[in-house]
Structure 1
């Protein structure tokens, strides 16, 4: 479905009913990556309304000419929360740039955000990150992909096995031709929010921060620096995982997100 926010048709996919969980994907993909990571968590866990939007310039949500940067994207996300969730408490999960936005949502709506999960979150400043390198895989695993897809896959995954190729083909590759590359490039110079998450009071609800030990995009040291802002955060660095951590460590990801949801439920009912 499309939801009009400030005149912008935001494409949203929903599953289930119950406690709202807003899931924000990273740059260069669309809602399918977050759905592919999170739906296994909810397979045997009813009572959650999962909300998966396509962020502007990705998937089926256009990037209007009046967009200037991440402040506009955040305004759209907050408008979406108000339109779809209202005053009801909700949880928010974000991956990469989506985690940056998720932090800002918790900062702007602290009394309504019942839980916050950050997966491979980007920070305000780029810190030291490991060089991208294949940790495990076979040389011919990506041969079934197109040349463009193959390049994207090899730059994203540090575990390059046939199973990871299939996850890439199902949850990442379909979004690639839908990205408004020129539009995102136009606003990339203002990707930092004018009111940075670090400038607001700490978020005190149940939180989860996951980092990939081999993440060549944001690293793991930068995410660790967020811990002091989240006094109820579980922090985990997962080996055999890069920036594609939700795919490469799906079992641990599922278990840790499920435990976070248990804490969110406990927090809401006490």
Structure 2
């Protein structure tokens, strides 16, 4: 398995998916959670069919070791790890994709190293970085109360707030999982079933830990200097992040477009791969 060394001398794992020697430039992909094993990204709905995807395991997830210093789980430090991976790969410039919390890391990287990016794709991002937490995710969830799974999921969401036992948390997550997808069919069920085993509670807890308000403001200021095109993808059935957060994220950049997808939840490549894949590919071909 390939590894790269970070600025603080940690050795982190990454995967390479897709054809070697592709004429298309690689796409570096950041998982969310936070603190979730990047395996849940899969091949992003077939994006690896024509180009290589570089998928790192962040600290304490997948095959990467836990951080010796807990502060290294915070997203500004995870962005530094992205820069170490870029240098390891020898990429002068590259395209970057981040999903959910990975979109926050991607934004921190873009703010610190705008000259390194050719394209930036942010999939179903939250807007905590922007300082606002829209409530439309709750509205989307409530609008689906007629669906068979909804009563059990609604109870599970409430119980998750109090649960501390990891086995219980994993069971409740699966019960609540349908709210993250547009449909609750075989592909969605299989994808959701893996979530419990992919969680890293410690990396998750450290993602925002110790991030000063001045750091958040510096990242936002840096986003105004990002010159590459930015695509923000949202789903109209995303009851995790909602859609308004994506609009707030896009507004933080000088050149960003929002593309809402119909009948798509928090994992667009699972719900509608044939919508998601060509959308991202077309964007990556723009200059």
- The TM-score, its normalising length taken from structure 2, stands at 0.76
Gaps of 5+ in 1: 140-145
Q: Is 1:182–2:185 an aligned residue pair?
A: no
Give the Å deviation of 1:78: 1.8
Q: Quick one: distance in 1 between partners of 2:243 and 2:272? A: 15
Match of 2:58 among 55, 58, 73: 55
Match of 2:87 among 70, 73, 82: 82
1:143 matched to which residue of 2? none
Residue 123 of structure 2 corresponds to residue 119 of structure 1: yes
2:183 equivalent to 1:159: yes
Task: Report which stretch shifted further, 93-102 or 29-38.
Answer: 29-38
1:8 aligns with 2:10: yes
Measure the CA separation in 2 of the matches of 1:258 and 1:113.
16
Cα offset, 1:103, TM superposition: 1.6
Q: Determine the C-alpha separation between the residues in 1 that align with 2:99 and 2:261.
A: 15
* Higher percent of residues as helix: 2
- Report the CA distance between 1:253 and its aligned residue: 0.7
Question: How far apart, in 2, do the equivalents of 1:204 and 1:7 lie?
Answer: 31
Cα distance in 2 for partners of 1:209, 1:50 equals 19
Q: Is the 8 A contact 1:202 1:229 kept in 2?
A: no
The SS at the match of 1:160 is coil
Q: Which residue of 2 aligns with 1:224?
A: 247
Question: Would you say the 8 A contact 1:135–1:159 is kept in 2?
Answer: no
Question: How well do the aligned residues superpose, as a CA RMSD in angstroms?
Answer: 2.9
Q: CA deviation at 1:245?
A: 2.5
Q: Determine which of 33, 36, 39 is the counterpart of 1:32.
A: 39
| 2:262 counterpart of 1:239 | yes
Residue 64 in 1 paired to residue 38 in 2? no
Give the drift of 1:10.
1.0
Give yes or no for contact 1:67–1:187 (8 Å, CA) kept in 2. Answer: no
Task: Determine which structure has the larger strand proportion and give its number.
Answer: 1
Q: Quote the Cα distance in structure 2 between the aligned partners of 1:229 and 1:24.
A: 20
Counterparts in 2 of 1:182 and 1:206: CA distance versus 1, 3 Å: closer
Query: Could you tell me how far apart the structure 1 residues matched to 2:96 and 2:245 are?
Result: 20
> Are 1:135 and 1:158, in contact at CA under 8 Å, matched by a contact in 2?
no
**2 CA distance for matches of 1:189 and 1:64?**
14
